[in-house]
Amino acid sequence: MTRDKEAELIAAVLAGDPNAFEPLVTEHQTRIYNLALRMTGNPDDAFDLSQDAFIKAYESLKDFRGDCAFGSWLYRLASNMCIDFLRKAKKRRTVPLTQSDDGEGERELEIADTRFSPETELERSELRRAIEAGLEAMPPAARQMIVMRDVSGLSYAQIAEILNVELGTVKSRISRARTRLVKLLSGDGTFHGSDSSKERKEGAGHA
């Protein structure tokens, strides 16, 4: 949707035509829903939160000044609602990320293992489940970085705009969040291979 079209629709809504809001909803609903889904971790909350975000956007549309894309403004609104939601929810449960219960300690996801690439369906769905669990185990601010970059596909500049921070801050927050996630997925928190067995595997032969 072009900025012109956007502006046209917004003007129509403000002039009293609620139906003009619908194309704005359908345009952005996938992005907003997935933001909410990966932040809250469950579809019901994501559904409610997404609807609430759109409704709030509608109700405060007169405050939108058009100095950024509507989508960015909406995304920021929704993202803040997600953070608030998580703060209120308050619970941070520890989610088991590995199958170490069945004594398969070594067969943790081994993301760090150079041989790992999810080729089979089973590996892929294991990876997905682990990623979902990993996201939920992260604090909201870190989770938000992964979601904005890898789920919503926002550029560093867009993220900087939405969060109202410097580009450099975005870069460092993203890499820290990713490292955190990868460590969670590796299970043992010593990703950088101070674990001797991993170091040996990745050792001399690789260049």
Q: Name the minimum Å distance from CB 199 to other proteins.
A: 8
Q: Name the minimum Å distance from CB 92 to other proteins.
A: 21
Q: Which is nearer to other proteins, 139 or 203 (CB)?
A: 203
Residue 110: name the closest of 181, 178, 186 by CA: 186
What is the spatial distance between Cα 170 and Cα 191, in angstroms, rounded to a whole number?
A: 23
* Residues near other proteins (CB under 8 A): 18-19, 21-22, 25-26, 29-30, 33-34, 37-38, 43-44, 47, 50-51, 54-55, 58-59, 111-114, 116-118, 124, 127-128, 131, 146, 149-151, 153, 155-156, 171-172, 174-176, 178-179, 181-182, 185-186, 191-193, 199, 202-203, 206-207
Residue 160: name the closest of 149, 150, 61 by CA: 149
- Whether the CB-CB separation of 13 and 20 falls below 8 Å is answered with yes
Q: Which is nearer to other proteins, 56 or 67 (CB)?
A: 56
What is the spatial distance between Cα 126 and Cα 22, in angstroms, rounded to a whole number?
A: 37
Residue 142: name the closest of 163, 164, 166 by CA: 163
Q: Name the minimum Å distance from CB 65 to other proteins.
A: 21
